Amino acid sequence: MSDHRPVLSRAAHDRAALRRQDGDWLAQPGRRAASLPVTGDYLVPVLHTPDGLRLAWRAARDDEPWVFLGNHGGAAYGMVRAARDSGSYADVEHWLGLREVGAVLSEAEAGLLVEAVALAQWHDRSPFCAQCGQPSEAVEAGWQRRCPDGHQHFPRTDPAVIMLVHDGADRCVLGRQAVWPVGRFSILAGFVEAGESAEAAVAREVAEEVGLVVTDIRYAGSQPWPFPQSLMLGFTALAAGDLTLRVDQDEIAEAHWVSREEITHGAFASALPPSLSIAHRIITDWLSGDLP
């Protein structure tokens, strides 16, 4: 059976959430032996091995702030912040980002890396309490931030919808955001607004971006997208009524009805989003008829 999970939805480790509050367990000798350094610009050390790319895990110092990621294979994995030229990592040759290595890492390392980058992004964006404005500090193995007044804040995730709009036959809508280079296309997407369901967000975003009315909205999977803190909720939707595209020029530079033939062998064959994205998975599943 083929694996229909988006690339960044792969994970094999146990997050072991109850251990985050277990200070005695976390402080045991050797507990921080598998730690992943993440730089200020979210790069991680990578090794080139005969079996492919691997993350370069290192032991963290006891005095180094450590974020617990979970357990795998009998070991505890964590994340630390580090500079590329620091003494402990000066010998590492390759530092790469999630976009560059996420699709080629093993299932276990891909899941740990996504979690590490998401938490690093959250900590960098949350140095102050959102309620009183005082500086906050990381507690509970990096899974909570707390200010002097005791206000608690937890890692944030922003839901977004991404949808393949089709005509029920052989065509789907591909669009190009105004900020993208010419020749790059993907399916439509947008954030879920306050007090809105995911399905309502699909219908609203499609109407706003290309002027279509959609029905038969179906869930097609999800994927974390920690750039900085999104969860992409994938859908398909059937266009109804007038199929004329009326493009919102503020966000979308151009949009087209595209056939399977044009995507696989035609003008759009080299324009698809990278395999790291859930958009790639949804498009390829639609091409093969494997959508749920």
pLDDT in 10s for each residue of the chain, 292 residues: 457 789 999 999 999 999 999 999 999 999 999 999 999 999 999 999 998 999 999 999 888 899 999 999 999 999 999 988 776 777 788 999 999 999 999 999 999 999 999 999 999 999 999 999 999 999 999 999 999 999 999 999 999 999 999 999 999 999 999 899 999 999 999 999 999 999 999 999 999 999 999 999 999 999 999 999 999 999 999 999 999 999 988 889 999 999 999 999 888 988 899 999 999 999 999 998 877 5
**CB-based contact 187:268 (threshold 8 Å):** no
Q: How far apart are CA 273 and CA 278, in angstroms?
A: 9
Domain check: are 188 and 72 in the same one?
no
* One domain, residues 68 and 16: yes
Q: Kindly state whether residues 270 and 172 are assigned to the same domain.
A: yes
Cβ contacts of 130 within 8 Å, gap of 6 or more: 151, 153
Residue 56 lies in a domain: yes
Task: Clarify whether residues 116 and 19 are in a common domain.
Answer: yes
What type of residue is 24?
Answer: D
User: What's the whole-model pTM score?
Assistant: 0.93
183 and 251 within one domain: yes
Q: What is the number of domains present in the chain? A: 2
Please check whether residues 85 and 38 belong to one and the same domain: yes
Please check whether residue 204 is in contact with residue 169, taking contact to mean a CB–CB distance below 8 angstroms. Answer: no
Residue 115 domain-assigned (yes or no): yes
The per-residue DSSP string of 217-239 comes to EEEEEEEEETTTTEEEEEEEEEE
Domain's final residue, options 73, 101, 125: 125
CATH number, domain of 83, equals 3.90.79
b or e along 223-261 (b: 16 or more beta carbons within 10 Å of the residue's beta carbon)? Answer: bbbbeebbbbbbbbbebeeeeebebbeebbeebbbbebe
How far apart (Å, rounded) are the C-alpha atoms in residues 77 and 132? 33
Same domain, 119 and 183: no
Q: What is the CATH number of the domain that holds 241?
A: 3.90.79.10
C-alpha to C-alpha distance for 136 and 148, rounded to whole angstroms: 7
Q: Are residues 171 and 108 in the same domain?
A: no
Q: Are residues 224 and 276 in the same domain?
A: yes
Same-domain pairing of 170 and 112: no
CA dist 43 and 37 (Å) reads 8
- Full residue range of the structural domain in which residue 237 is found: 158-288
Say yes or no: 170 and 87 in one domain: no
